[in-house]
Structure 1
Amino acid sequence: MGVDVRTASIHPLEQPPTIDFPHARTEAQPGRGALAVLGGDLMVRVADGRLLPYANLDIAATAPCAVVAAEAVTRLLPSYASVHRGAGVLSQHCTRAYEQARAAVARFVGCRPGDQVVFTRNSTDALNLLAHVVPASTPVLTFLGEHHANLLPWRQTVHLPLPRTPGEAVAAVDEALRRHGPALVAVTATSNVTGEVWPVAEIARVARWHGARVVVDAAQLAAHGPVSLADLDVDYLVLSGHKLYAPFGAGVLAGRADWMDAARPYLSGGGASRHVGSDGTVQWALGPGRHEAGTPNLVGAVAMAAVCEAVTATGWAALTHHEQQLLERLDAGLATVAGVHRLVLFGPAHPRLGIAAFAVAGLDSAEVARRLADDHGIGVRDGLFCAHPLTRHLLASAPTRLPGTAVRASLGAGTTREQVDRLVAAVARIAAQAPSQRPASRDIA
């Protein structure tokens, strides 16, 4: 009979030596808090032959790797072994590391008694898992401004129109719940297009009054500020490690266990079952293991936990202050560039995280992004940002004709004033070469 290593005693294991990362020995620079990241000294060759420090302004898509995450993985790898599958010292050590990672993430997202943390591949996977366990009779209310991960997976969807104000968003949820009764409200904490913070706590209060549940897509917010199931009073929360400075392919669905324990496993296989009879009958496991069949992503879980613990220990104040200073600098700089139009939904004064989407009149956004990379060593994102309805709406609302896609610059740990200033200067140079004269910059709402 096999040993249940979830309850077996854990033998001590001496920590293996840590590989010396050339970037990891540099202390975090002033103003960036304790979250130092790798890649800050990466040089790239631009079109004219110069070598420039790379400006990674695509952090909203995938954040650079935090030093603490890389070091945690390096310490783990020499003892890497199976999780929940063996009685050997290495397997027990890795089982303990995996479950300690789960506990660290639970603390980070403010889990309450009865909540559980299920490790997934990313936020998209986590939302698809939740869509799998939502009872078939339960409608899901979601705004058309959501990322596709929170727009497409649901089986019985009620699409709410794009609100013009936060108050209008809360009112739309209230009205929809009056019509549809108990439902699941799926809402982002922060738009991945505009960076605007959504009124999640207010939406949750309305949902509670109607007996509805709430899931929060915290993929963007979790990397920029505190997010808590308990503080927001929501039922579920999802996030991605690769946006939280732990790019090792792990995500999280955290929240109430009842729907997850009642549904058939998301994946069928080893670990999801407690007993399989010779006649094919199955007793499925309860708890997180029910939806984590197969060998789990131990490396991703440990990396994410390392970042969660580092941020929990130091707090968000320094990093948030640093990002807001840079965002104000970026906003002020782009506002001086003729032909640049910023994309916002709730208006330029609404609180935002370090994301700025814009379009340049007369220029294709892919061309703008290419020239930023090829000529200035700046990495940004162009397109519709996996939020097509929202981005198209904002572009179509412009007072002048704009290209059908936009450019997005995003900030985070590791971003510098020099990078922001270089972006503004580069955009100004590119915009000046557009085929027509344009008015001064305006925000699109």
Structure 2
Amino acid sequence: MSLSTLATEPIEALLPLASDETLVPLLDGRWVRYANLDGAASAPALASVAARIAEVTPWYSSVHRGAGYLSQVSTALYEEARRTIAAFVGARESDVAVITRNTTDAVNLLASAVPGRTLVLDVEHHANLLPWQRSPHGVTVVTGEATVTGTLARLEAELVGRPHALVALTGASNVTGESLPIDRVVALAHEHGARVFVDGAQLLPHRRFSLASTDVDYVAFSGHKLYAPYGAGALVGRRDWLDEAPAYLAGGGSVQRVTVQEATWSPAPARHEGGTPNLLGALAIASACEALTALDPVVWEEHEQALRQRLVAGLAEIPEVTIATLWEDSAPPVGVVTFTVEGADAGLVATYLSAEHGIGVRDGKFCAHPLVTRLGLVEGALRASVGLGTGSEDVDRLLAGLRAFLAARAAGELEQRYRLADGLWGLAEDPRPLPRIAGLAELARTASSCRG
């Protein structure tokens, strides 16, 4: 499909979202359908996921705790969800799936179990960097090269030079959408006696993945990026380290026997799931896994690539826009595009797109400070992400919004409408009404270490 065709041919969303009919107010008084291009941060729920939660909520009860009928139903649903989640990532028969709060929680759990030094790249999201920095066994952080080939050579040199227990890498960068070839990393790591962990938070909402077929040892992901934002995630992989590790969250459900002096801990997954588990979160992820598994993987990838190419082609036609790239020889990225607008604060652009065009994008450093620093984005950037619920209208509205921003800036109109306070951009006067939601007194304006 040519770029000229992409510019004119409409592209419909692949799956319906629970938020498809959500309207947001604009500065000029109009209400428009929200164009959510921020799924790389948190994706809205699939309509089927929201329906599943509504279906099972009346049956909610304690899990692994009671003989009551609803408790038995809830326990059965929870364990079936675990099996569905494991199957979604191609778990081997001997693998274990632990339900966590999110990817960050899953990485911290794995970090508590790794019996040796970990090797990571500087391209990682903080969730796949900070836990390893705290490891008592130490961490090696490799600065990537400008090419995939050069970066792999750096990884190999470190593996040859010092023993490592684990290589931890992103399945897809949350900044550029690019990735290293997982099969080559696995081959290098296993050759030198290291296991491989893949942070699948950005990969799994965009591509099929299998532990068994890739020979990856562990994978983690979050429901809130997989169109199931109900507060759960998962760590799936080899059992031995997780069975031998200290209980990650000590409490009820993680033990077999307790005295006032000691405890006999259960094996994984119960060992690391102390307390009442998030039944609805696990069911939401399982429902999303089923929906994504039912998709034709070729159609899925073609849909996303068509949208991404449409976006990249449109951005390339705006002289003031520069797209960030990590490796000049990488495979086609997933649906994540980070860019800057010459002479414009990313926070101002994002605020303008929201207030005047009903578009949601991310601005800042994307919880990947070492990478954005290496890419020269020290002042932050903008990120747009496309996915299953995105259509060409969303992409076209973003491109039109960016052109309108540049026209308004040239006309000197922005100074009258926007102001900077405490490091955050906002409207000088905001006449937009709040949605009728209980407990919402005002729109939030809070600083974030990942935004700033």
TM-score (normalised: structure 2): 0.85
* Distance in 2, Cα, partners of 1:67 & 1:319: 17
Shift of 1:235: 0.7
Shift of 1:254: 0.4
| 1:258–1:349 CA distance, 2 compared to 1 (3 A) | closer
Are 1:96 and 2:51 matched, yes or no?
Answer: no
Shift of 1:429: 2.3
Structure 2 letter corresponding to 1:268: A
Mean Cα deviation higher: 210-219 or 195-204: 195-204
* Distance in 1, Cα, partners of 2:202 & 2:355: 27
Shift of 1:200: 1.5
User: In the alignment, which residue of structure 1 is the partner of 2:103?
Assistant: 123
Shift of 1:182: 3.6
Residues 357, 407 of structure 1: 8 Å contact kept: yes
Residues 126, 252 of structure 1: 8 Å contact kept: yes
- SS of 1:69's partner is helix
User: In the alignment, which residue of structure 2 is the partner of 1:18?
Assistant: none
Q: Which runs of 5+ in 2 are unaligned?
A: 1-9, 412-452
Structure 1 letter corresponding to 2:128: N
Structure 1 letter corresponding to 2:251: G
Cα deviations by residue, 1:318-354 (Å, 9 ceiling, x for unpaired): 2322111111110000001021111110138741111
* Distance in 1, Cα, partners of 2:282 & 2:293: 16
Residues 178, 330 of structure 2: 8 Å contact kept: no
Mean Cα deviation higher: 193-202 or 75-84: 193-202
* Distance in 1, Cα, partners of 2:408 & 2:355: 16
TM-score (normalised: structure 1): 0.87
* Distance in 1, Cα, partners of 2:81 & 2:335: 27
Cα deviations by residue, 1:148-181 (Å, 9 ceiling, x for unpaired): 0001101111010022111222212211111112
User: In the alignment, which residue of structure 1 is the partner of 2:276?
Assistant: 295
> Which structure 2 residues correspond to residues 293-372 of structure 1 after superposition, within 5 A?
293-347=274-328, 350-372=331-353
- SS of 1:408's partner is strand
Residues 343, 395 of structure 1: 8 Å contact kept: no
Are 1:227 and 2:202 matched, yes or no?
Answer: no
Q: 1:282 aligns with which of 258, 263, 269?
A: 263
Cα deviations by residue, 1:357-398 (Å, 9 ceiling, x for unpaired): 0111111000000000011110000000000111122125xx
| 1:134–1:349 CA distance, 2 compared to 1 (3 A) | closer
Are 1:263 and 2:253 matched, yes or no?
Answer: no
Structure 2 letter corresponding to 1:206: L
- SS of 2:150's partner is helix
* Distance in 1, Cα, partners of 2:11 & 2:156: 45
> What RMSD in Å do the two structures reach over aligned CA positions?
1.7
User: In the alignment, which residue of structure 2 is the partner of 1:62?
Assistant: 42
| 1:65–1:159 CA distance, 2 compared to 1 (3 A) | same
Residues 353, 401 of structure 2: 8 Å contact kept: yes
Mean Cα deviation higher: 143-152 or 308-317: 308-317
Q: Which runs of 5+ in 1 are unaligned?
A: 1-28, 397-402, 437-445
Shift of 1:30: 7.7
Identity, % of aligned pairs?
47
Between the two proteins, the alignment pairs up a number of residues equal to 398
Cα deviations by residue, 1:99-132 (Å, 9 ceiling, x for unpaired): 0000001110011122100000000000000011
* Distance in 1, Cα, partners of 2:122 & 2:30: 44
User: In the alignment, which residue of structure 1 is the partner of 2:20?
Assistant: 40
* Distance in 2, Cα, partners of 1:355 & 1:345: 12
